[in-house]
Amino acid sequence: MPDATTERPYHHGNLRTALLDAAERSLREHGADRLALRDLAREIGVSHAAPRRHFPDRQALLDALAEAGFARLDAVLRSALAGADDDFAARVRAAAVVYARFATENAALLELMYTSKHRAGATRIVAAAEAPMRLLAEVITEGQAQGALEPGDPERIGIILFATLQGIASLVNGNFVPPDRLDGLVETAVEQFLRGARPAS
């Protein structure tokens, strides 16, 4: 007797979104290695062939998940900056806190995001990954224009700040640092960054 799932049509409004949502849940709970298209199809109640309308294979789904992750990161950073004061220090703090929280609340997704962009042919992911870094460079440029930051390559300076935040998030994700210390460590990192990058008087 055939599996009823194989004959079940798709009745949701958006198959692609449903698959990505299910894939992210699976990623969070089980990791990327155990993610399978057939399991996702079973979970959302469609035929085993249905996911291939949008994702020809498992790698295509992982790539789409990583690309969506970068888009979401860019969106939350932009939202944080839109709600921050024009003061450079306030904008850096807003972006830093949001990034660190995103990185710790979406640890498995973030790992996928940063490993996927190094795969050969992952041009769309690379382009998506550039958006948050470009946004950070824009904030650095604003600080330099305000005289709050020393002259220099905005991208290079932004990478230093990003690396510090990523390091803190990695320590939390690896259980080396308890999560309740995250915000305090980020605040200290931002203070040190602002102090060290301030133009000499």
pLDDT digits (tens, 9 = 90+) for 56-104: 898 899 999 999 999 999 999 999 999 999 899 999 999 999 999 999 9
Domain count, the chain: 2
Read off the pLDDT of residues 12-56 as tens digits, 9 standing for 90 and up: 568 999 999 999 999 999 988 888 899 998 999 888 888 888 888
Do 84 and 46 share a domain, yes or no?
no
- One domain, residues 116 and 34: no
Q: Are residues 154 and 79 in the same domain?
A: yes
**12 and 67 housed in the same domain:** no
Q: Are residues 25 and 109 in the same domain?
A: no
Of 12, 36, 56, the domain-final residue: 56
Cα–Cα distance measured from residue 169 to residue 167, given in angstroms and rounded to the nearest whole number? 5
b/e sequence 179-190, b meaning 16+ C-beta within 10 Å: eeebeebbeebb
Assign 135 a pLDDT band (cuts: 50, 70, 90).
Answer: very high
Q: What is the CATH number of the domain that holds 52?
A: 1.10.10
Choosing from 29, 56, 83, the residue where a domain stops is: 56
The pLDDT tens digits for 142-164 are 999 999 999 999 999 999 999 99
Residue 4 burial (C-beta neighbours within 10 Å; 0-12, 13-18, 19+): exposed
Q: What range does the domain containing 130 cover?
A: 58-197
- Give the predicted TM-score (pTM) of the model: 0.85
The pLDDT value given to residue 13 = 62
Do 111 and 86 share a structural domain? Answer: yes
Task: Please indicate, yes or no, whether residues 49 and 64 belong to a single structural domain of this protein.
Answer: no
Is residue 198 over pLDDT 50?
yes
Query: Within this chain, do residues 24 and 117 fall inside the same structural domain, yes or no?
Result: no
